[in-house]
Chains A and B, each alone.
Chain A
Amino acid sequence: MKTVIIKYNAGNVQSVMYALDRLGVNYLYTDEEEEIRSADRVIFPGVGEASTAMAYLRSKKLDKLIPSLTQPVLGTCIGMQLMCRYSEENSTDCLGIFDVDVKRFPKTPGVKVPHMGWNSIYDYQSTLLTGLEEKAYVYFVHSYAPPVCDYTIATCNYIHPFSAMLHRDNFYAAQFHCEISGDVGEKILSNFLKGE
């Protein structure tokens, strides 16, 4: 089993690497096409801002590579948002793997943005969530999110319901940070990395 973490200017991916270490999973951190194509599992991590990240992906031609992958791919946080069609964050055209637009949380009196902290997810519709209790808590830090749509496999509610996880074919994505979401996050990562 070969696992690759895609290397790009996505902020701190160290905690993703450490999470894989804890799971006993070897990985390669790379932006080379051959290595990525030959992986059994691909993780597309990220913390940061959409337009800068997309510009970098284009400069490395990763914007063409990632949507063409056929093995299981898991995007997290900004990785998830980049897999959508478009993000309101600096009006950014994204990869279009999920035909849905990422929107900013609306200004709401008394409610803070970013959505930061532990929130529960529900309405599971994927084997990636096998073994989790309903309404499991995971850790979020974000100001933008895709709405609930045909690809939604887990929902979260903050101001309004939004997609906590998406799935289409071989592509999976999580808005929250699996790598620092305690045992729940590790279970999701483990399901992704060790599943069929």
Chain B
Amino acid sequence: MLTKRIIPCLDVKDGRTVKGVNFVNLRDAGDAVELGALYAAQGADELVFLDITATVEGRGTFIELVRRVAHTVNIPFTVGGGISSKADVSALLHAGADKVSINSAAVRNPALIDELALEFGSQCIVVAIDSRYVPHIEDVPDAGGDHLVHTHGGRTPTAIKTIPWAKEVEDRGAGEILLTSMDTDGTKNGFALELTATISGAANIPVIASGGAGTMDHFQEVFTTGKADAGLAASIFHFREIDIPDLKQYLQDKGLPMRL
């Protein structure tokens, strides 16, 4: 039976992992390659590495890290952060990444998704969607009251509605959606279940839910009520508030298909 996936996310700066609490205060959680290998050994189903400095610094350090990760871990991993061209994707895949995640660049130029899917195959193109509920946009009375896509690490709002955008990225050839709720991210109060369920129900590609995991029950909820295919979290794993083997055992005991 196809299992639900548990995915630790490692935000990387200069080869080390950092976790943004509400994307502002950064705390250091160790060497990225070592931590990734540890998670793989503990039974993580995939890994995600996000280069949070991609737009500021050169990509050389990150590509070298990707090479080291690929050499070390024997499970799939996705890389993201500042990817905006075929050349970026090609370099990361050739360094050994299994998938790439694009976000702001896809919003800026949706046709990029089609180009990348055609060139490299849908299976390796993940579109990350950062979404926040916006009750009302000033001066644009019609546009409020919806989950809107945000770019640049969640800092920049757009007028794009999350659910139609999710369908569009699938139509354009994305192989997977990484959905982060900016409303729940960093809160540890649980995933955005309703939004995740709506998108997972609307899309025929896997949805990775992100943002808000604080307890093992939150994962159970996101796989049942939230209909997610995978659950992603960062700090709760980095700071060992939840251990992956315990989490997977717990979820299996609750009747969810897990790889143990």
Q: Is the CB of B206 within 8 A of A112?
A: yes
Q: Is the CB of A139 within 8 A of B76?
A: yes
Q: How big is chain B's contact interface, by range?
A: 20 to 34
Does B130 reach chain A (CB closer than 8 Å)? no
Does A157 reach chain B (CB closer than 8 Å)? yes
Does A161 reach chain B (CB closer than 8 Å)? no
Most chain B CB within 10 A, of A48, A114, A185, is at A114
Q: Is the CB of B76 within 8 A of A18?
A: no
Q: Is the CB of A182 within 8 A of B40?
A: yes
Chain B residues with CB under 8 Å of A139's CB are: 75-76
Q: How far does the alpha carbon of A113 sit from the alpha carbon of B70 in the complex, in Å?
A: 26
What 1/0 mask marks residues of chain B from 104 to 145 whose CB sits below 8 Å from any chain A CB?
000000000000000011111000000000000000000000
Q: Is the CB of A47 within 8 A of B175?
A: no
What 1/0 mask marks residues of chain B from 196 to 234 whose CB sits below 8 Å from any chain A CB?
000000011110000000000000000000000110000
What 1/0 mask marks residues of chain A from 108 to 142 whose CB sits below 8 Å from any chain B CB?
00001111111110000000000000000101011
Q: Is the CB of B1 within 8 A of A112?
A: no
Chain A residues with CB under 8 Å of B76's CB are: 139, 177, 180
Q: Is the CB of B45 within 8 A of A180?
A: no
Interface size on A, residues (CB 8 A): 34
What 1/0 mask marks residues of chain B from 33 to 54 whose CB sits below 8 Å from any chain A CB?
0000000100001000000000
Q: Is the CB of A117 within 8 A of B204?
A: no
Q: Is the CB of B205 within 8 A of A114?
A: yes
Does B74 reach chain A (CB closer than 8 Å)? yes
Give the Cβ gap from B37 to chain A, nearest Cβ, in Å: 11
Q: How far does the alpha carbon of A65 sit from the alpha carbon of B75 in the complex, in Å?
A: 32
Contact residues, B59-118 vs A (CB, 8 A): 70-71, 74-76, 93-98
Q: Is the CB of A15 within 8 A of B259?
A: no
Contact residues, A150-176 vs B (CB, 8 A): 157-158
Q: How far does the alpha carbon of A151 sit from the alpha carbon of B206 in the complex, in Å?
A: 30
Q: How far does the alpha carbon of A146 sit from the alpha carbon of B84 in the complex, in Å?
A: 36
Q: Is the CB of B74 within 8 A of A182?
A: yes
Q: Is the CB of A117 within 8 A of B206?
A: yes
Give the Cβ gap from A11 to chain B, nearest Cβ, in Å: 6
The answer, among A22, A48, A119, A179, for a CB contact under 8 Å with B121, is A48
Q: How far does the alpha carbon of A142 sit from the alpha carbon of B124 in the complex, in Å?
A: 11
Chain B residues with CB under 8 Å of A180's CB are: 74-76, 98
| Contact flag A112-B205 (CB < 8 Å), given A14-B93, A157-B1 | yes
Most chain A CB within 10 A, of B1, B40, B176, B229, is at B1
Q: How far does the alpha carbon of A142 sit from the alpha carbon of B206 in the complex, in Å?
A: 12
Does A19 reach chain B (CB closer than 8 Å)? yes
Does A49 reach chain B (CB closer than 8 Å)? yes
Contact residues, B161-210 vs A (CB, 8 A): 175-176, 203-206
Q: How far does the alpha carbon of A141 sit from the alpha carbon of B124 in the complex, in Å?
A: 9
Q: Is the CB of A141 within 8 A of B123?
A: yes
Chain B residues with CB under 8 Å of A114's CB are: 122-123, 175, 205
Q: How far does the alpha carbon of A118 sit from the alpha carbon of B205 in the complex, in Å?
A: 15
Chain A residues with CB under 8 Å of B1's CB are: 119-120, 157
Chain A residues with CB under 8 Å of B147's CB are: none
Does B238 reach chain A (CB closer than 8 Å)? no
| Contact flag A14-B45 (CB < 8 Å), given A22-B74, A117-B230 | no
Residues of A within 8 A of B (CB): 11-12, 14-15, 18-19, 21-22, 47-49, 112-120, 137, 139, 141-142, 157-158, 177, 179-183, 185-186
- Name 17 interchain pairs, CB-CB below 8 A, sorted by A: A11-B121, A12-B94, A12-B124, A14-B70, A49-B121, A112-B206, A114-B122, A115-B2, A117-B2, A117-B3, A117-B45, A118-B5, A118-B259, A119-B1, A141-B175, A181-B75, A182-B75
Residues of B within 8 A of A (CB): 1-3, 5, 40, 45, 70-71, 74-76, 93-98, 120-124, 175-176, 203-206, 229-230, 259
Beyond A118-B2, A118-B3, 19 additional contacts (C-beta under 8 Å) are A11-B121, A12-B94, A12-B97, A12-B98, A14-B95, A21-B71, A47-B124, A112-B203, A112-B205, A112-B229, A115-B2, A116-B175, A117-B45, A118-B45, A137-B259, A177-B76, A182-B74, A182-B75, A186-B74
